[in-house]
């Protein structure tokens, strides 16, 4: 039964992608297609006094120009955090007020993209502008603790004040991370098609059903009248997890001109209107006794949100569960700025939070003069200290051990600045990694066809992670057929409902539904055989039957059996169908469910120019059952690469006067290219976790980035003796 699971199979959609057969959201052909181009505000705070569209409207090929003066009224939306599907609650083109630079203030529709782009450039806008509020430091007095029904603003256990006072060693430092942008290769794109009162939307999204619900709500139409299609996504990292305003604009534009409309955001527009990772400023205080045992943890700080939504980057969550400490306090505040609403970005909370926590742990290790791995082992949490629940599984100790061996940690001279390679200073750093193992309700349908092939369906999403491949593996393994005999359909609200592809929960959630529906399908087919007097399996109980290579047979007598196709043909069945509707377990949790890992980085630092190069990287992870070694390794590697970019390069820079992003392009927003990344070693600790979910997997999409930036920063300190607490670690800071 496990001949397929775990194998490093190639992606089932690989050929489609490399031959151009995979249709992304901007690539679905439509007859009589029109093109829409958005116009963004040139100010970050103020009011539109006049918007002149006459010249644009009179250009050849221009079909419509929509502004707040003629846009249809829209109904309020809820964000994903509020139980809706929107990225922000602010609706486009509903008023003259401007809250952030680049905010949509008009959309032009024309026969061609060139005509629409030129017309958009001719729209003249007169503003009354005010000084933009874009700096946390200047607005600190306006910070507030957000109301969160599920979690109090301040969380305390024990007596952290006493724990810190009793400590023999203390670390009290501030760590900052900048605003960062997702920058997936595929820009956000929407094609909207109205057929009477029916709407079909081809949208680059991680949540087809969320877009459907949000569009139906804001347009006041029945959900069943909205179909959302997204077959392939060219990267997302969280920014496509919610519906943004451009999707609404494409839909109202298509209705206005009575033609299909395609709207694709430019790269610079994507810096303003589809979310970002919020800037954070984090204060960490650690207390420890002479043996390095933690006596207190404080993790507090501030991040920003928009003027109209409350998005909080939950960077303190990792400190509550990562290490055993009797005394802890975490709290967060947010401040409103003239920026768009932040959103989820790969490992939201855990990525910036682990940078602060794991950097502070490294500082404590040097203060106590204990090896950084040993310090973490001494504070290993046998149970989750945040809720006193046992771990469903936790291989963190094994991750440390294997990582140290593979990386060669024993060769590290613990003295900062003591290692070199020619003119370069060499440093080694490490950090822990963790991310929660989440599970969402998901549904799936399966059909067995007369030739024994199987079609499995769920509306989940293929973001390049290999979802279609591992779902085919799960179904094939359960039904005893080859992967080539399984087709997995996804990315369409006409298919069974699937959750948002976020929180590293897709494989666990949809995979559980796929395995369950495959089991139901197998049971139906076996029931047909058991009740068939002409079948070799007549009257044989399911427990006595095995399935392999599309053939069902008696375990103790393999010659007595028949193929699926033979059985269905004898009954003249065109298909056998099964359906599974997964529901959440309403019982109180009995286990705490997390993936864990250990990250190891080696850097070379130029003492003359401050340049930092990561020369080696090793990551070891306990992530439950690995369904596909190849795609899993790729996911971890991509997270590590993104973490290296977070450590050394990524930063969105705002003009403090105008509130505009000054590096809104791929030339000046820096992230790693191939030449920046060394060979990355990824290892998995085998884990059998019967408690985490029915298929025993933990998410791997996000844990790879957690701890990575801290491991690099800790390596830079080891190389140079200079502690960089403000990301990214650029040459000017090292010098």
Active site residues: 702
What 8-state DSSP symbol labels residue 154?
A: E
326/307 Cα distance (integer angstroms) = 38
**Structural contact between residues 378 and 339, judged by C-beta atoms closer than 8 angstroms:** no
Q: What residue ranges in 247-316 does DSSP mark as E strands?
A: 261-264, 280-288, 294-305
Cβ within 8 Å of residue 384, ≥6 positions away: 321, 390, 391, 592, 594
**Structural contact between residues 246 and 102, judged by C-beta atoms closer than 8 angstroms:** no
Of residues 194, 345, 304, 259, the one with CA closest to residue 63: 259
β partners of residue 328: 157, 297
Cβ within 8 Å of residue 511, ≥6 positions away: 470, 471, 474, 627, 695, 697
728 prior amide bond cis, ω within 30: yes
**Structural contact between residues 703 and 434, judged by C-beta atoms closer than 8 angstroms:** yes
686/617 Cα distance (integer angstroms) = 21
Cβ within 8 Å of residue 149, ≥6 positions away: none
Cβ within 8 Å of residue 501, ≥6 positions away: 206, 207, 236, 241, 460, 461, 463, 467
β partners of residue 430: 600
**Burial tier of 21 (Cβ tally within 10 Å: 0-12, 13-18, 19+):** exposed
Segments in 19-172 forming alpha helices (H): 54-57, 113-121, 160-165
Of residues 309, 358, 353, the one with CA closest to residue 335: 309
């Amino acid at each position: 039964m496990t001949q397929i699971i775990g194998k490093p199979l190639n992606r089932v959609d690989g050929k489609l992608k490399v031959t151009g057969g995979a249709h992304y959201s901007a690539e679905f052909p439509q007859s009589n297609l029109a093109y829409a181009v958005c116009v963004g505000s040139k100010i970050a705070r103020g009011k539109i006094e006049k918007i002149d569209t006459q010249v644009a409207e009179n250009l050849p090929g221009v079909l419509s120009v929509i502004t707040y003066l003629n846009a249809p009224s829209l109904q309020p939306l809820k964000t994903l955090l509020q139980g809706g599907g929107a990225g922000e609650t602010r609706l486009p083109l509903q008023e003259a007020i401007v809250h952030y630079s680049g905010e949509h203030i008009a959309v032009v529709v024309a026969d061609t993209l060139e005509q629409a782009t030129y017309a958009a450039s001719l729209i003249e806008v007169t503003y009354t502008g005010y000084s933009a509020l874009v700096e946390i430091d200047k607005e600190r007095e306006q910070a507030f603790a957000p109301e969160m029904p599920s979690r109090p603003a301040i969380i305390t256990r024990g007596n952290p004040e006493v724990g810190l006072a009793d400590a023999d060693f203390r670390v009290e430092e501030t760590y900052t991370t900048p605003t960062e942008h997702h920058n997936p290769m595929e820009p956000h794109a929407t094609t909207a098609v109205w057929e009477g009162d029916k709407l079909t939307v081809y949208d680059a999204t991680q949540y087809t059903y969320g877009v459907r619900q949000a569009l139906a709500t804001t347009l006041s139409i029945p959900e069943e009248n909205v179909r959302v299609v997204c077959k392939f996504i060219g990267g997302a990292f969280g920014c496509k997890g919610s519906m943004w305003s451009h999707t609404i604009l494409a839909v109202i534009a298509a209705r206005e001109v009575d033609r299909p409309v395609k709207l694709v955001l430019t790269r610079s527009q994507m810096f303003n209107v589809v979310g970002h990772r919020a800037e954070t400023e984090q204060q960490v205080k650690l207390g420890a006794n002479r043996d390095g045992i933690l006596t207190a943890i404080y993790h507090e700080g501030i991040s920003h949100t928009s003027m109209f939504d409350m998005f909080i980057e939950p960077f303190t969550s990792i400190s509550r569960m990562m290490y055993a400490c009797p005394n802890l306090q975490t709290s967060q505040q947010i401040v409103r700025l003239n920026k768009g609403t932040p959103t989820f970005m790969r490992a939201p909370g855990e990525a910036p939070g682990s940078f602060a926590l794991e950097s502070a742990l490294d500082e404590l290790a040097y203060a106590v003069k204990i090896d950084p791995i040993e310090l973490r082992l001494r504070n290993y949490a046998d149970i989750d200290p945040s809720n006193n629940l046992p771990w469903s599984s936790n291989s963190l100790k094994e991750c440390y051990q294997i990582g140290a061996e593979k990386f060669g940690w024993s060769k590290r001279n613990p003295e900062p600045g003591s290692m070199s390679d020619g003119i370069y200073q060499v440093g080694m750093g490490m950090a822990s990694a963790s991310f929660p193992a989440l599970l969402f309700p998901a549904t799936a349908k399966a059909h067995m066809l007369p030739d024994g092939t199987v079609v499995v369906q769920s509306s989940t999403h293929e973001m390049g992670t290999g979802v279609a491949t591992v779902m085919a593996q799960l179904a094939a393994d359960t039904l005893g057929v080859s992967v080539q005999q399984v087709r997995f359909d996804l990315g369409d609200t006409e298919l069974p409902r699937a959750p948002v592809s976020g929180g590293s929960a897709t494989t666990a959630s949809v995979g559980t539904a796929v395995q369950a529906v495959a089991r139901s399908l197998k049971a139906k087919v076996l029931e047909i055989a058991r009740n068939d007097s002409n079948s070799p399996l007549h009257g044989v109980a399911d427990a006595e039957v095995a399935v392999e290579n599309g053939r069902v047979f008696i375990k103790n007598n393999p010659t007595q059996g028949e193929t699926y196709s033979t059985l269905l043909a004898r009954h003249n069945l065109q298909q056998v169908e099964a359906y599974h509707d997964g529901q959440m377990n309403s019982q109180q949790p009995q286990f705490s469910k997390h993936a864990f890992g250990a990250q190891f980085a080696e850097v070379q630092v130029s003492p003359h120019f401050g340049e930092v190069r990561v020369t080696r990287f090793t990551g070891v992870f306990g992530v439950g059952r690995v369904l596909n070694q190849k795609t899993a390794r790729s996911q971890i590697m991509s997270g590590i690469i993104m973490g290296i970019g977070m450590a050394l390069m990524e930063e969105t820079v705002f003009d403090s006067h105008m509130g505009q992003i000054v590096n809104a392009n791929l030339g000046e927003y820096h992230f790693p290219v191939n030449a920046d990344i060394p060979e990355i070693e990824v290892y998995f600790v085998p884990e059998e976790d019967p408690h985490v979910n029915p298929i025993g997997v933990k998410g791997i999409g996000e844990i790879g980035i957690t701890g990575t930036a801290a491991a690099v920063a800790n390596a830079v300190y080891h190389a140079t003796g200079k502690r960089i607490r403000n990301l990214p670690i650029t040459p000017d800071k090292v010098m």
